Copies of this chain bind each other. A is one copy, B any other.
């Protein structure tokens, strides 16, 4: 994927006024299955909690500030997590 296009894409993500000065984290998982293959189970819904657990090791996440969106279109599934970080994020332990 073109890096510049990706940067433009994420910078161009709409945000509301309240979050303008907020630190933000966005996680997108896209899973494209092969339609002809059996057993292509969609596991993205299960990932939400696990991804947040991983991120929580590095930052304090307010679960109320996490917006989750799951979209499906044929053999393509996309899980999107949008996290607005609290003003006082903990210092990463790394």
Contacts and interface: CB of A to CB of B under 8 A. Distances in A.
A28 B30 CA distance: 9
B54 A34 contact: no
Tell me the dominant secondary structure on chain A's binding face: mixed
Nearest to A81: B29
Interface in A36-64: 37, 39-41, 43, 46-47, 50-51, 54-55, 57-59
Contact of A10 (B23, B32, B54): B32
B29 A26 contact: yes
Contacts of A80: 1, 6
5 contacts: A6-B78, A22-B34, A23-B34, A27-B27, A46-B58
